[in-house]
Amino acid sequence: MSAQASSAKPNSIPGVGHIIAVSSGKGGVGKSTVSTNLACALALTGARVGLMDADITGPNIPTMMGVTELPQITDVPGKGEFFIPPTSHGVKVMSMGFLVQGDQPLIWRGPMLHQAVTQFCRQVEWGTLDFLVIDMPPGTGDVQLSLAQLVAVSGAVLVTTPQEIAMQDVRRSHVMWDKVRVPIIGVVENMSYFRAPDTGTTYNIFGTGGGELLAKKFNTKVLAHLPLLPAVREGGDEGRPVAVRDPNSEIAGSFMSLARQVSERVHQVVDPASLIQIGKF
């Protein structure tokens, strides 16, 4: 489906083809790592890509994408002021991290979170995109419901680590997306294993088989098993996601494979009935 065609979808962002939520329900499993590398990998395939940081109170995307330029503001006749998102690694990026200073916390209640998500969906000049990747915050609360009410989410990528504690929250996240009629594109099992560089021995630090259990339960598929690697952490800290930092590496290849699968599967799982406006909860 082209981005132009998407403008006819109910509750869409004009010019945006598919909206992909990267979610888990749990913090610390690597949603932002998956979001940044997925967005960069999609861009490397030639797609037009945007990345929205919906973790309003914990915005890390500007750092992980290495964005130093602030969004510009333009006046759109009849519509008011719009943000023009900066571009990094071929991806347009918008985050609350651009709008707060340093380590200043945002101690906000639900209505303020809703307003911020509304601005990112309605007052950002995203232009023409094939994919808008949204890095979701932990939980199943205000931001998730606001997003489901505001826009037609094409599908969700669920990120987990193999252990049961992580999977509990991912199962809750799945039920939440099901209730708002957003299909699941697939499961990404992050930190699946660690391979010692000196001996080549593989260690399953967080257990094994979690991704497969979730995929079977949700009648979907595991899109990737991503290892625990220093290069992935280093890329995020440096603002150069590993998909672009070391494009010939095995892990970069895994993210490119993930991007191709997401691109293919989003067309398979999208149910037109799920793209109606979600009512108030």
Helix and strand element counts for the chain (H, E): 10, 12
User: Smallest Cα–Cα separation from 160: which of 197, 214, 236?
Assistant: 214
- Rounded CA-CA distance 252/41 in Å is 8
pLDDT of residue 104: 79
pLDDT exceeds cutoff 80 at 272:
no
Q: Is the pTM of this model over 0.95?
A: no
* Residue pLDDT, tens place only, 106-148: 788 888 999 999 999 999 999 999 999 999 999 888 999 999 9
Please state which of the ranges 33-37, 106-110, 212-216, 236-240 shows the lowest mean pLDDT: 106-110
- Rounded CA-CA distance 186/213 in Å is 12
The DSSP symbol for 73 reads: E
* Residue pLDDT, tens place only, 159-189: 999 999 899 999 999 999 999 999 999 999 9
pLDDT of residue 77: 83
- Rounded CA-CA distance 242/233 in Å is 8
Q: Delineate the domains of the chain, giving CATH numbers in brackets.
A: 3-273 (3.40.50.300)
* Residue pLDDT, tens place only, 14-62: 999 999 999 998 889 999 999 999 999 999 999 999 999 999 999 999 9
Strand bridging mode 194-195 / 16-23: unpaired
